[in-house]
Amino acid sequence: MDFNHSDERRMLQETLHRYLSDNYGVEQRAASVAHSQGYSEKVWGDFAELGVIGALFEEADGGFGGSGFDIAVVFEELGRFACVEPLMASGVMAGRLLSALGSDEQKALIGDVIAGQLKVVPALEEPQSRYDLDAVETTAEQVDGGYRLNGTKSVVMGGPSADKLIVSARCADGLMLFVLDANANGVERYSYPNLDGYHASDVALVNVEVRSTAVLGASEAVLPALEAARAAGVTALCAEAVGAMEAAKDLTAEYLRVRTQFGRALGKFQALQHRMSTVLIEIEQARSALINVAGHLSAEPFLRDKHVSAAKNLIGRVAQLVCEESIQLHGGIGMTEEYALGHHAKRLMMIDHQLGDVDYHLERFVGVMQSEAAQERA
Amino acid sequence: MDLNYSADELAFRDEVRSFLDKNLSSALSEKVRLGKRLSKADLEEWHATLNRRGWLAVNWPVEHGGTGWNAVYRHIFEEELCLAHAPRTIPFGLSMLAPVLLKFGSKAQQDHFLPRILDGTDWWCQGYSEPQAGSDLASLKTRAVRDGDQYVVNGQKTWTTLGQHADWIFCLVRTDPAAKAQEGISFLLIDMKTPGVTVRPITLIDGGQEVNEVFFEDVRVPVGNLVGEENKGWTYAKYLLTHERTNIAGVGFSTAALAHLKDICGKQTSGGKSLLANPYFAGRVAQIEIDLMAMATTNLRMIAKAAAGQAPGAESSMLKIKGTEIRQAINDLTRRAVGRYAMPFVSEALDSGANAQGVGPEYAAAASPSYFNNRKLSIFGGSNEIQRNIISKAILGL
Cβ of B111: how many Cβ atoms within 10 Å?
11
Tell me how many degrees the CA angle A64-A66-A72 measures, rounded to the nearest 5.
Answer: 115
Contacts of A375 (CB under 8 A, 6+ apart): none
Beta strand A120-123 with A164-171: parallel, antiparallel or unpaired? parallel
Burial of B341 (0-12, 13-18, 19+ CB in 10 A): buried
Is residue B367 assigned to a domain?
yes
Based on the fold, state whether residues A187 and A254 are members of the same structural domain.
no
Task: Tell me the shortest Cα–Cα distance from B162 to chain A, in angstroms.
Answer: 15
Q: What residues of chain A lie within 8 A of the CB of B346, using their CB?
A: 192-193
- By Cβ distance, the residue of B204, B268, B344 closest to A337 is B204
Is A346 close to B372, i.e. CB distance below 8 A?
yes
pLDDT tens per residue, range B351-365 = 877 677 889 999 999
Q: What residues of chain A lie within 8 A of the CB of B357, using their CB?
A: 190
Average pLDDT over residues A139-168: 97
Beta strand B211-222 with B150-157: parallel, antiparallel or unpaired? antiparallel
Residue that finishes a domain, picked among A114, A134, A159: A114
Is B344 close to A194, i.e. CB distance below 8 A?
yes
Is residue B1 assigned to a domain?
no
Report the half-sphere exposure of A293 (CA within 13 A, side-chain side). 30
CA–CA dist A43, B255 (Å, integer): 47
Is residue A305 assigned to a domain?
yes
**Which of A151, A128, A133 minimizes the C-alpha distance to A96?**
A133
* CATH number of the domain within which B335 lies: 1.20.140.10
Based on the fold, state whether residues B223 and B280 are members of the same structural domain.
no
Nearest CA in chain A to B342: A353
pLDDT tens per residue, range A175-231 = 999 999 999 999 999 999 999 999 999 999 999 999 999 999 999 999 999 999 999
Based on the fold, state whether residues A168 and A314 are members of the same structural domain.
no
Q: Are A300 and A248 in contact (CB under 8 A)?
A: no
**Which of B253, B234, B250 minimizes the C-alpha distance to B242?**
B234
Distance of CA B272 to the CA centre of its chain: 40
CA–CA dist A364, A311 (Å, integer): 12
Based on the fold, state whether residues A225 and A372 are members of the same structural domain.
yes
Tell me how many degrees the CA angle B198-B92-A259 measures, rounded to the nearest 5.
Answer: 60
Whether A346 contacts chain B with CB within 8 A: yes
- Residue A201 sits at φ, ψ, to 5 deg, of -140, 150
Whether A342 contacts chain B with CB within 8 A: yes
Cβ of B141: how many Cβ atoms within 10 Å?
14
Answer whether residue A140 shows pLDDT above 80: yes
The sign of the dihedral angle between the CA atoms of B103, B105, B111, B115 is negative
Run of H or E including A159: none
Is A262 close to B385, i.e. CB distance below 8 A?
no
Nearest CA in chain B to A350: B343
Is A261 close to B139, i.e. CB distance below 8 A?
yes
Based on the fold, state whether residues A99 and A163 are members of the same structural domain.
no
Based on the fold, state whether residues B146 and B229 are members of the same structural domain.
yes
Is A262 close to B135, i.e. CB distance below 8 A?
yes
DSSP B366: T
For residue B34, name the pLDDT band (cuts at 50, 70, 90): very high
Based on the fold, state whether residues B84 and B67 are members of the same structural domain.
yes
- Residue A152 sits at φ, ψ, to 5 deg, of -130, 135
Average pLDDT, chain A: 97
For residue B243, name the pLDDT band (cuts at 50, 70, 90): low
**Model pTM above 0.90:** yes
Q: Are B205 and A345 in contact (CB under 8 A)?
A: yes
Based on the fold, state whether residues B263 and B226 are members of the same structural domain.
no
Is B340 close to A363, i.e. CB distance below 8 A?
no
Q: What percent of chain B has pLDDT over 90?
A: 85
Based on the fold, state whether residues A226 and A329 are members of the same structural domain.
yes
pLDDT tens per residue, range B114-166 = 999 999 999 999 999 999 999 899 999 999 999 999 999 999 999 999 999 99
CA–CA dist B213, A341 (Å, integer): 20
- By Cβ distance, the residue of B284, B340, B384 closest to A125 is B340
Is A130 close to B270, i.e. CB distance below 8 A?
yes
CA–CA dist B196, B190 (Å, integer): 11
Q: What residues of chain A lie within 8 A of the CB of B205, using their CB?
A: 335-337, 342, 345-346
Residue that finishes a domain, picked among B32, B66, B89: B89
Based on the fold, state whether residues B267 and B385 are members of the same structural domain.
yes
Task: Give the number of domains in chain A.
Answer: 3
**Residues B244, B289, B325, B362: which is the catalytic one?**
B244
**Which of A176, A191, A121 minimizes the C-alpha distance to A146?**
A176
Task: Give the number of domains in chain B.
Answer: 3
Residue that finishes a domain, picked among A186, A218, A250: A218
Based on the fold, state whether residues A195 and A280 are members of the same structural domain.
no
* CATH number of the domain within which B227 lies: 2.40.110.10
**Which of A155, A192, A366 minimizes the C-alpha distance to B339?**
A155
Q: Are A223 and A177 in contact (CB under 8 A)?
A: no
Is residue A332 assigned to a domain?
yes
Based on the fold, state whether residues A194 and A166 are members of the same structural domain.
yes
Assign A168 to helix, strand or coil: strand
Q: What residues of chain A lie within 8 A of the CB of B331, using their CB?
A: none
Is residue A97 assigned to a domain?
yes
DSSP B209: -
Is residue B184 assigned to a domain?
yes
Is residue B216 assigned to a domain?
yes
Amino acid at the residue A138? T
Task: Tell me the shortest Cα–Cα distance from A124 to chain B, in angstroms.
Answer: 12
Per-residue pLDDT, B315: 84
Domain enclosing residue A364, as ranges = 221-377
- By Cβ distance, the residue of A154, A271, A272 closest to B340 is A154
Q: Are B170 and B127 in contact (CB under 8 A)?
A: yes
Domain enclosing residue B347, as ranges = 244-395
Burial of A93 (0-12, 13-18, 19+ CB in 10 A): buried
Run of H or E including A305: helix A301-330
pLDDT tens per residue, range A11-29 = 999 999 999 999 999 999 9
Q: What residues of chain B lie within 8 A of the CB of A128, using their CB?
A: 269
Residue that finishes a domain, picked among B42, B69, B89: B89
Residue that finishes a domain, picked among A166, A191, A218: A218
Based on the fold, state whether residues A21 and A101 are members of the same structural domain.
yes
Cβ of A58: how many Cβ atoms within 10 Å?
16
**Which of A313, A320, A319 minimizes the C-alpha distance to A365?**
A313
Contacts of B112 (CB under 8 A, 6+ apart): none
Could you give the C-alpha distances from B352 to B27, B203, B260, B271, B307, in angstroms and in order?
Answer: 10, 17, 19, 34, 38
* CATH number of the domain within which A75 lies: 1.10.540.10
Based on the fold, state whether residues A369 and A237 are members of the same structural domain.
yes
Is residue B118 assigned to a domain?
no
Assign A180 to helix, strand or coil: strand
Q: Known catalytic residue: B244?
A: yes
Is residue B29 assigned to a domain?
yes
**Which of A32, A101, A71, A132 minimizes the C-alpha distance to A359?**
A132
Q: Which of A26, A268, A353 to mutate to test the interface with B (most CBs of B within 10 A)?
A: A353
**Which of A212, A113, A107, A126 minimizes the C-alpha distance to A161?**
A113
The DSSP code sequence of B278-342 is SHHHHHHHHHHHHHHHHHHHHHHHHHHHHHTTPPP-THHHHHHHHHHHHHHHHHHHHHHHTGGGG
Is residue A2 assigned to a domain?
no
- Residue B199 sits at φ, ψ, to 5 deg, of -115, 130
Q: Could you tell me the maximum CA-CA distance found in chain B, to the nearest angstrom?
A: 75
The gap between the terminal CA atoms of chain A, to the nearest Å, is 33
Average pLDDT, chain B: 94
Average pLDDT over residues B305-322: 85
Number of CB pairs, chain A paired with chain B, less than 8 A apart: 132
Based on the fold, state whether residues A284 and A346 are members of the same structural domain.
yes
Identify any residues that bridge with A54 across adjacent strands, giving them in sequence order. none
Is residue A143 assigned to a domain?
yes
- Selected residues 196-215 of chain A with any CB under 8 Å from a CB in chain B: 196, 198, 200, 202
Based on the fold, state whether residues B381 and B258 are members of the same structural domain.
yes
Per-residue pLDDT, B248: 85
Q: What residues of chain B lie within 8 A of the CB of A353, using their CB?
A: 339-340, 342-343
Answer whether residue A329 shows pLDDT above 60: yes
Is A155 close to B280, i.e. CB distance below 8 A?
no
Q: Are B249 and B325 in contact (CB under 8 A)?
A: no
Identify any residues that bridge with B202 across adjacent strands, giving them in sequence order. B211
Task: Tell me the shortest Cα–Cα distance from B159 to chain A, in angstroms.
Answer: 8
Residue that finishes a domain, picked among B215, B240, B265: B240
**Which of B99, B382, B91 minimizes the C-alpha distance to B239?**
B99
For helices A7-23 and A41-50, give the axis angle rounded to 10 degrees. 160
Is A194 close to B278, i.e. CB distance below 8 A?
no
Run of H or E including A203: strand A199-211
Based on the fold, state whether residues B211 and B198 are members of the same structural domain.
yes
Distance of CA A254 to the CA centre of its chain: 28
Q: Which of A132, A190, A359, A361 to mutate to test the interface with B (most CBs of B within 10 A)?
A: A359
Is residue B12 assigned to a domain?
yes
The sign of the dihedral angle between the CA atoms of B123, B131, B376, A155 is positive
In terms of pLDDT, which residue wins out, B274 or B245?
B274
Whether A194 contacts chain B with CB within 8 A: yes
Average pLDDT over residues B93-98: 94
pLDDT tens per residue, range A248-281 = 999 999 999 999 999 999 999 999 999 999 999 9
Task: Tell me the shortest Cα–Cα distance from A193 to chain B, in angstroms.
Answer: 6
Based on the fold, state whether residues B216 and B149 are members of the same structural domain.
yes
DSSP A339: S
Based on the fold, state whether residues A327 and A255 are members of the same structural domain.
yes
Based on the fold, state whether residues B277 and B372 are members of the same structural domain.
yes
Is residue A301 assigned to a domain?
yes
Based on the fold, state whether residues B187 and B236 are members of the same structural domain.
yes
Per-residue pLDDT, B379: 95
ipTM over 0.90? The verdict is: yes
Based on the fold, state whether residues B262 and B353 are members of the same structural domain.
yes
* CATH number of the domain within which A278 lies: 1.20.140.10
**Which of A159, A130, A68, A91 minimizes the C-alpha distance to A357?**
A130
CA–CA dist A207, A185 (Å, integer): 8
Based on the fold, state whether residues B138 and B268 are members of the same structural domain.
no
Per-residue pLDDT, B245: 62
Is residue A1 assigned to a domain?
no
CA–CA dist B189, A275 (Å, integer): 39
In terms of pLDDT, which residue wins out, B74 or B312?
B74
CA–CA dist A30, A197 (Å, integer): 8
Based on the fold, state whether residues A248 and A330 are members of the same structural domain.
yes
Q: What residues of chain B lie within 8 A of the CB of A202, using their CB?
A: 359-360
Cβ of A109: how many Cβ atoms within 10 Å?
19
Is residue B291 assigned to a domain?
yes
Nearest CA in chain B to A324: B375
* CATH number of the domain within which A184 lies: 2.40.110.10
